[in-house]
Structure 1
Amino acid sequence: MSNGSNELGGFLRSRRERLTPEAAGIAPGGTRRAVHGLRREELAELAGVSVSYYTRLEQGASSSASDAVIDALAAALRLDPVEHEHLRNLAAPRRAARPRSRRTKLRPAVRDLLAAMSAMPGVVIDHRADVLAWNRLGHALLAGHVAFEAPEERIRPNIARMLFLDPHHRGLYRDWADKASVTVAALHQAVARHRDDPVLEQLVGRLAVESPEFARMWAKRPVRTCSYYVRELDHPVVGRLTLANETVTLPDDDQQLGLFYALPGTPGADALALLTRSCAETLAKENMR
C-alpha cells in the first residue's frame, strides 16, 4: 500500500483522469489529446494553483495542502461531498506518531446490546473490517462456517478478507460486486483516517497480493458512503433471501454496528424465522454436550 502522500496523489490523479474537458467546461481543442481526462495544467488552472505545485501534490513530493487549495481542487474535480471529505483526510497533516492499539476493544454495553437483539442479525466491525462481535443470528447469517467465538481469537474474522479470500463468505452475496465495491471504498476511507495503523496497511497489502479482484478495485480508488443497503443473499441453510442492511456508526474508535432485517410477512422474514429456529437447535445441541 502506498504511503499517505502517494494515496493523495493517486486519488487526485484518478479523479483528474475521470473528468472530461467537456464536463469541466473546457472547450475542446483542435489537437488530439494524449490523456482521457484533464491535463495537469488544465486542472491547476481551474483550481487556481500553479502547475508545479499541483504536480508536486500528485507526485507525492508535497504531503499536505491548505483547506483553501483542497476546496478549490474538489470544486474543479466536481467531487461529491463524500469524495471531498476523503480528499481532506488524505491532505491533512500527519499527527505526531502515537502508538496505536493493534487490537480494537468493544465496550461491554455494546456487546450486551448486540446479544439482546436476538431476533435480528447483528455484527460490530472496526475501521479495519475486523469482526469485534456478532450475535447468534448474525453469526449464522454471515459466517456459520467459522466458530461463534472467533472474534475473541487472536486473529479475528475480517469482513474484507472473507469477502475476497473465503469462498464460503463470498458465495453468500448474490450482489457480490456491489458489496465488494462498498468494502473497498470503506477501506480507502479508513486508510485516509488512520494513516498511523500498520495493521490496516498489512491487511490492504495482503488483499492486493492475494486477490487480483481486490487489487483492480483498489486501484480505481472508489469512495462512497451509504448506511442502508438491500442485500441479495444465497444462504447455505435457508436459501435465497433479500434483507435490508442498516449500518450505524458507534462513537467508539470508528466502529460500526450492522443490522439485517426484513419486513413482517415477506419471504425474507420467513427465512430469518427459519434461521432463528436453526440457531436455537444448534445452540441446544451444543449445551447438551
Structure 2
Amino acid sequence: MSNDYSKSKTLGAFLKSRRNRLQPEQAGLRLSQVQLTYDERAHLIQLWDPNETNAVSCIHTTLNPQGQNIIDQLSYPSFISNERAEVLAWNSAANEVITDFSSLSASERVMIRLLFVDPELRSRMVNWEEFASYSVAVFRTYYDKYLGDPWFEETVERLRVESMEFDTMWKLHQIQLKKVNRVSFQISDAVEAVSYDINSLASIADHPGLHICIYTPVLEEKT
C-alpha cells in the first residue's frame, strides 16, 4: 500500500471524525478551519499538503550518554523519550514517582502502554482519564506522521485488544501537540496527592525527535 493512499485514507478518517463532533444545530454547516483547533489545523495541513515529502526522519532508539548525565543532575522526576513514547533514559526520581522503569525491559518502557496496562501506575494517577486522553491524542499525532510504520501499527493493534478504554479513545481520532500538561500522583496513603507540570523540551543535540520530560512540582498558591 502506497504512503499516498495511507495519507488519503487517514485524512478521510480525520475529517469524518471532526464532522461527527459537530453539534446537531451545526449539522447543516460545512466543516471549516474555524471549527478546528490550532493543532488540528496543523495536522490537517500536514496530511493534505501534496508537496510534503513522504520520507520522514528515523526514530532514534538509542541515546548519547550525555542525555543520561543531564537528567541525573535533576532532582525532579525526569525521563527522555522518542516519538514512539519509548523511555530511553530516566533518573531515580522518575523511578520513585512515576514507575520503576529500571525493572522493565526496553520493550515494556513505552509510556502510552504503561498508562493502560500498568494497574499500579494507574491507581496512583489521580487524573488518569484526563491524562490518558491527552496522551492518546499526542500519540495519534505521531502515528499519523509515521503512517505505515510497522511498530506503530503493531503497538496500536495490541493496545486496542488489551484495553477497551484505549480503543474507545483511539476511535475519537483526537489530535494534540505536546504542551505543558499536569498530572497528579498519590505517592502514598499517608500524604496528599502531589501535582506536577510536565515540561517537554525538544531538540536534544542532533535528535529533534527526542524529548526531555521534566515533572516539576506545582507549588500551592498562597492566599
Shorter chain as normaliser: what TM range? Answer: 0.7 to 0.9
SS in 2 for 1:174: coil
8 Å CA contact 2:178, 2:200 repeated in 1: no
Q: Which residue matches 1:259?
A: 214
The SS at the match of 1:147 is helix
Gaps of 5+ in 2: none
2:143 and 2:130 map into 1 onto residues whose CA distance is: 20
Corresponding residue for residue 143 of structure 1: 99
Indicate conservation of the 8 Å contact 1:207/1:215, yes or no.
Answer: yes
Stretches of structure 1 lacking an aligned partner (at least 5 in a row): 24-36, 47-72, 267-289
Describe the SS at the equivalent of 1:132. Answer: strand
Q: CA deviation at 1:99?
A: 9.1
**Contact 1:100–1:197 (Cα < 8 Å) also in 2:** no
Partner of 2:182: 230
Residue 110 of structure 2 corresponds to which residue in structure 1?
Answer: 158
Tell me how far apart the structure 2 counterparts of residues 180 and 259 of structure 1 sit (CA, whole Å): 18
- Using the alignment, how far apart are the partners of 1:159 and 1:240 within structure 2? 24
The amino acid of 1:74's aligned partner reads Q
Code of the residue aligned with 1:104 in structure 2: it is T
- Residues 186, 98 of structure 1: CA spacing in aligned structure 2 closer, same or farther, 3 A cutoff? closer
Residue 230 of structure 1 contacts residue 242 of structure 1 at CA under 8 Å; is this kept in 2?
Answer: no
SS in 1 for 2:98: helix
Deviation, 1:229, is: 2.6
In the other structure, the counterpart of 1:270 is: none
Render the CA deviation track for 1:110-146: whole Å, top value 9, x for unaligned: 22111111x11101111111111110111211113x5
Alignment-mate amino acid for residue 188 of structure 1: R
**CA deviation after TM superposition for structure 1 residue 155, in Å:** 1.7
After TM superposition, list the pairs within 5 Å mapping 1:206-217 onto structure 2.
206-217=158-169
Change (3 A) 1:99 1:249: closer
The CA deviation string for residues 18-66 of structure 1, in whole angstroms up to 9 with x for no partner, is: 224745xxxxxxxxxxxxx35xxx53xx7xxxxxxxxxxxxxxxxxxxx
Q: CA deviation at 1:15?
A: 0.9
Return the match for 1:8 from 8, 11, 15: 11
Q: Is residue 2:134 matched to residue 1:182?
A: yes
Asked if the contact 1:132–1:156 (Cα under 8 Å) also holds between the matched residues in 2, the reply is no
Question: What does residue 66 of structure 2 align with?
Answer: 109
Using CA pairs under 8 Å that are at least 6 residues apart, name the structure with larger relative contact order, 1 or 2: 2
The AA in structure 1 aligned to 2:46 is N
In structure 1, what residue type is equivalent to 2:88? L
Which residue in 2 is equivalent to 1:74? 33
Q: Distance in 2 between matches of 1:237 and 1:257?
A: 29
Structure 2 partner of 1:201: 153
Amino acid of the structure 2 residue aligned with 1:6: K
Tell me the SS of whatever aligns to 2:184.
strand
Cα drift, residue 147 of structure 1: 2.5
> What is the aligned counterpart of 1:169 among 113, 121, 131?
121
CA RMSD of aligned residues (A): 2.7
**Contact 2:138/2:177 (<8 A) preserved:** yes
Q: Which has the larger radius of gyration?
A: 1
Report if aligned partners of 2:198, 2:213 keep a CA contact under 8 Å in 1: yes
Q: Match for 2:89: what amino acid?
A: A
Hey, what's the Cα distance between the residues in 2 that align with 1:127 and 1:205? 18
Q: Does the CA contact (< 8 Å) of 2:138 and 2:178 recur in 1?
A: no
The verdict on how the C-alpha distance between 1:79 and 1:114 changes in structure 2, with shifts beyond 3 A counting, is same
Secondary structure of the equivalent of 1:16? helix
Q: Does 1:126 align with 2:82?
A: yes
| TM-score where L is the length of structure 1 | 0.65
Which ranges of 4 or more aligned residues in structure 1 deviate by more than 3 Å? 20-23, 92-101, 236-240
What TM-score does the superposition give when structure 2 sets the normalisation length? 0.82
